[in-house]
Structure 1
Amino acid sequence: MLLGIDIAVWSILILVAMVGLLVIGVPLAFTTGGIGVALCLLLFGPQGLFLLASRTFTFFDTYVLVAVPFFIFMASIFEKSGLASDLYNAVKLWTGRLPGGAAIVTTVFGIIIGAIIGVAGGEIVLMGLVAMPQLLRLGYDRKITIGLVCATGALGSMIPPSIILVFYGLSANVSIGDLFLASFLPGLLLAVLFVAYVLIRCIVNPSLGPPPPLAETQLPFAAKLKLLTGVALPMLVLLATLGSIYLGIASVTESAAVGTVGTIVAVWIRRELTATLIREAMVQTMSACGMVLWLVIGTNALIGVYNLMGGIEFAKELLTNLPFPPFIVLSMMLLVWIFLGFFIDWIGILLLTMPVFLPVILAFGYDPLWFGVLFNMAMQVAYLTPPFAPAAFYLKGVAPPGMTLEEIFSAMWPFIGLQLLGLAIVTALPQIALWLPALI
């Protein structure tokens, strides 16, 4: 007991304080950091702050963490250049006049972009700028268009490389390369579910996804060949980034650097590389990294103090001793993630829950690789669920006039259902995630 108060009571008080501060608008980083520092001073005195500083420094003193700004910088450059637009136009050649064909194009485009940049926010902005105007121009149903762009854009955090998987690997001490492999097939599963849903609806009602005009599909061979060259540079960047990891040539951090250099070279070849583009990409990268790192500092402080209080061990014993089978406890964890996703960002959910959930999962004998994929899929749902719904706000920033947040929110519910279906399938069939790492 600390100050005569049981750890269970302390846990409830911490939870109430967090909810109260978040409700009045205090950012999560300062909520967790403030509570952590206050508890440290109250229970351990000023000398306890050295332990918090040491814990934070240990997390930052990790080589793999350098990959994060590289991936974000690469995403920013890709977003601000014309590479994405050319890639989308090239992929359009593959579907001809199939009803709903542009939805397939959009999904394939999202998979390729996700595999290049690994940042969901950047991908949703790209999809909103490149794919959404094309779908609306072709006469696609607005709700299908909005939902598909948001859901497919969120695959940026599912298809490797993924910033979420980098942070999970650091938190769980799991190979990030293996996490990338494990996340690949579940990401493709989600993409297939999105395509199947749109195609079925468009086949039943072709007016929801009419084919493109004949003139856009019957191009001369030379024109088609020129468009297909738009795929070459992005695919070379993709092969340089992921190929260097899987072939064992480079670590995740080194491959991120290779991908960044490759993206810069690709933009330079296109004669789009300017000082303004580099400056804007650097500012965007620093802003994104600053937000994430402040969350890391604040959440590390709270979890560090809670661990010193014995809270992590208390939570582990509480969960492992519940009168339910392990699979039910796992399902409860997934529900907690989805619920938290209504209100806070993925990095906060990861840092708050993983120190508690991961020891329980290991005690149950579950594979942490599979658990990381489940977390990533749960965060796919979190990207779309209001009121937080980052995907909606990213899309709103580039949406055409007259497209409201309410319309975006209402369009995402069928795709949230598809994400939950994909999560249920991978939860019931772990080999979907574990087969590829075991093979390679």
Structure 2
Amino acid sequence: MDYTTIALLMFVSMMLMLITGQRVFGAIGAVAVAAALLLWGTGGVEIAFAQSIKLMKWYPLLTLPMFIYMGYMLSESRIADDLYEMFHVWFGPVRGGLAIGTIVLMVIVSAMNGLSVAGMAIGATIALPELLRRGYDKIMVTGVIQAGSSLGILIPPSVVLVLYGMIARQPVSQLWLAGALPGLMMATLFVVYIAVRCRLQPHLGPVLPEEERNIPLAEKLRLLRAGILPLAIFFMMTGLFLMGITSLVESSAVGAISATVAAAIKGRLTAQVWENTLRKSLGITCMFMWIILAALAFGAIFDGLGAVRAIEGFFLEDLGLGPWEVLILMQLSFLLMGTFLDDTAMLVIIAPLYIPLVRALGFDLIWYGVLYTITCQIAYMTPPFGYNLFLMRAMAPPEIRLRDIYASVFPFVLVMILALALVMLFPQIALWLPSQFQGKLQG
């Protein structure tokens, strides 16, 4: 049996295990270790062991638990609630203002957590009931929350970009800087869409009633101060990093400590908050660690079989495709896989194959990391099995049905496709900021 056939059998076996509902790291790791033992005997165990040592020696990985902890601490201590109350008061007099405020809230939550599920949880439990109670169109606001929460995997500190950096061997600091402007551009496009649509169809996003708008200035300023605290945490954390005072890992520690201090200042650092934050942070961190380890082992065996070179030859020689045609096909494959896999599973399955191909095609791997992440965002919201669709279904109130959720995402998916096209056509949208800090950042 030739190596190409073996590689194909590995890939099919892994997909079958995933379809049967096995855990991602279990399916990928089991196929990797089994293939190594069958191909190289007991010495094949050394491949997986070597990858675990590589993982433990990757210093930037320390940022992962820190940023996850920071996000959960701010969420569990309800500091994010203060932000939404601030947006409710200040954006309320504008048509669609609360929906616009929700997008801004999602951007801030993304900048504090790095996971889309955190934004979804906050949006579905805090923002969605308020928007529905104030007469906002249920289909539009359902799409707002799903689109806004997807920003968590693009805006730094994106956990997905940390994983990509590990597999592609690219600096996380450069990837985060590359994701910042595209993330803010996409959020701006969301805001423009909401504002224009609510102006054309005012019933979709009514302004607040007169009695709720007539809030004393002192109360507005109090709410503004309450919302400044989490923003101050974020700007202190990123500011020290961008000035070169702290390294990437040190910056994540500053964020974690600042979030804890903020919760204590608010008087919300209870035993229950501690327990929930630590339990969730540990669970998510361990899950990602196992997934990365399994992905590295799988990728090492695939590379040893020559599968990467076979795929490169298939696209460039057998099919005779040009670099951009191959790139577009790769993005389409991510969209297809995203209908039944989450972003992490897609990355660990496909990245070991695609990243060497992207390098061979002459594209920038930092830029491609942003393209991959935006494509994941789109896949998250694409029916029938987009990840965010089912998260929303699990968290939404009964009056929002599955067909409402499906209908809500299409305008925002079109906006995301526009953002993806802009980043593909103008790579400097992603690469300008990293170029400004090239060689100036630690980590």
Q: Is the 8 A contact 1:177 1:246 kept in 2?
A: no
Once the two structures are superposed, the pairs formed by residues 6-405 of structure 1 within 5 Å of their partners are 6-321=2-317, 322-405=319-402
Amino acid at match of 2:38: L
Q: Give the distance between the partners of 1:379 and 1:157, measured in 2 at CA.
A: 8
Letter paired with 2:356: P
Aligned length, in residue pairs: 436
d(CA) in 2 for partners of 1:407, 1:57 = 47
Unaligned runs of 5+ in 1: none
Residues 46-65 of structure 1 deviation map (CA, whole Å, 9 limit, x = unaligned):
11111221112212321111
Question: 2:90·2:220 contact (CA, 8 Å) conserved in 1?
Answer: no
Deviation at 1:326, TM superposition (A): 0.6
Q: Contact 1:66/1:253 (CA < 8 Å) preserved in 2?
A: yes
User: What is the CA distance between 1:160 and its match in structure 2?
Assistant: 1.2
**Aligned in 2, Cα 1:251/1:397: closer, same or farther, shift over 3 Å?**
farther
Is contact 2:138–2:400 with CA below 8 Å preserved after alignment?
no
Please name the residue that 1:418 is paired with.
415
Larger displacement relative to structure 2 (315-324 or 110-119) = 315-324
Question: In the alignment, residue 429 of structure 2 is paired with which amino acid?
Answer: I
Q: Could you tell me how far apart the structure 2 residues matched to 1:393 and 1:194 are?
A: 21
Deviation at 1:96, TM superposition (A): 4.5
- What is the aligned partner in structure 1 of residue 440 from structure 2? none
String of CA shifts for 1:264-314, please: whole Å, max 9, x gaps.
Answer: 111111101111111111111122123222222333332222222222232
Partners of 1:297 and 1:178 in 2: CA distance: 23
Give CA deviations for 1:174-199 in whole Å, capped at 9, x if unaligned.
22222122111111121122122222
Query: Does the C-alpha gap of structure 1 residues 343 and 309 become closer, same or farther in structure 2, counting only changes over 3 Å?
Result: same
Aligned residue type for 1:143: I
The Cα of 1:388 is off from its aligned counterpart by 4.1
CA contact (8 A) 2:241 2:251 kept: yes
1:147-174 superposed Cα distances (whole Å, 9 cap, x missing partner): 1001101111111111111111222222
Call closer, same or farther: CA 1:406–1:290 in 2, change over 3 Å: farther
Structure 2: which 5+ runs fail to align?
438-443
C-alpha separation in 2, matches of 1:164 and 1:298: 16
- CA drift of 1:40 comes to 1.1
CA distance in 2, matches of 1:92, 1:180: 30
Query: Offset at 1:393?
Result: 3.5
**Residue 47 of structure 1 aligns to a residue in which SS?**
helix
Higher deviation after alignment, 289-298 or 80-89: 289-298
**In structure 2, distance between residues paired with 1:166 and 1:38:** 27
1:434 matched to 2:434: no
Give the Cα separation in 2 of the matches to 1:222 and 1:311: 65
Change (3 A) 1:284 1:275: same
The answer as to whether partners of 1:144 and 1:411 remain within 8 angstroms in 2 is: yes
CA 95–276 in structure 1, closer or farther in 2 if over 3 Å, else same? closer
CA contact (8 A) 2:136 2:204 kept: yes
Q: In structure 1, the residue corresponding to 2:207 is in which secondary structure?
A: coil
Paired AA for residue 175 in structure 1: P
Superposed CA offset, 1:105-149 (max 9, x none): 111111112112222111111111221122112111101111100
The alpha-carbon distance between structure 1 residues 103 and 371, as it changes in their structure 2 partners (threshold 3 A), is same
Provide closer, same or farther for how the CA distance between residues 52 and 341 of structure 1 changes in structure 2, counting only shifts above 3 A: same
Aligned equivalents of 1:201, 1:245: Cα separation in 2: 38
Q: Which amino acid aligns with 1:172?
A: A
Structure 1 stretches of at least 4 aligned residues deviating more than 4 Å after TM superposition:
none
Tell me the distance in 2 between the aligned counterparts of 1:172 and 1:127: 32
- Between 1:283-292 and 1:265-274, the stretch displaced more is 283-292
Give the TM-score of the pair, scaled to structure 2: 0.93
Change beyond 3 A, Cα 1:204–1:92? same
Paired letter, 1:345: D
The 1-side partners of 2:68 and 2:292 are apart by: 17
Contact residue 71 and residue 119 of structure 1 kept, 8 A = no
Task: Give the fraction of aligned pairs with identical amino acids, expressed as a percent.
Answer: 34
- Larger mean Cα displacement after TM superposition, 207-216 or 284-293: 284-293
| Distance change >3 Å, CA 118–CA 23, structure 1 → 2 | closer
TM-score by length of structure 1 reads 0.94
Q: In structure 2, how many angstroms separate the alpha carbons of the residues matched to 1:305 and 1:100? A: 52
Separation in 1, partners of 2:75, 2:435: 34
Q: What letter corresponds to residue 261 of structure 1 in structure 2? A: I
Q: Equivalents in 2 of 1:56, 1:386: separation in Å?
A: 36
Root-mean-square deviation (CA, aligned residues, Å) is 1.8
Alpha-carbon distance change, 181 to 154 in structure 1, aligned in 2, over 3 angstroms:
same
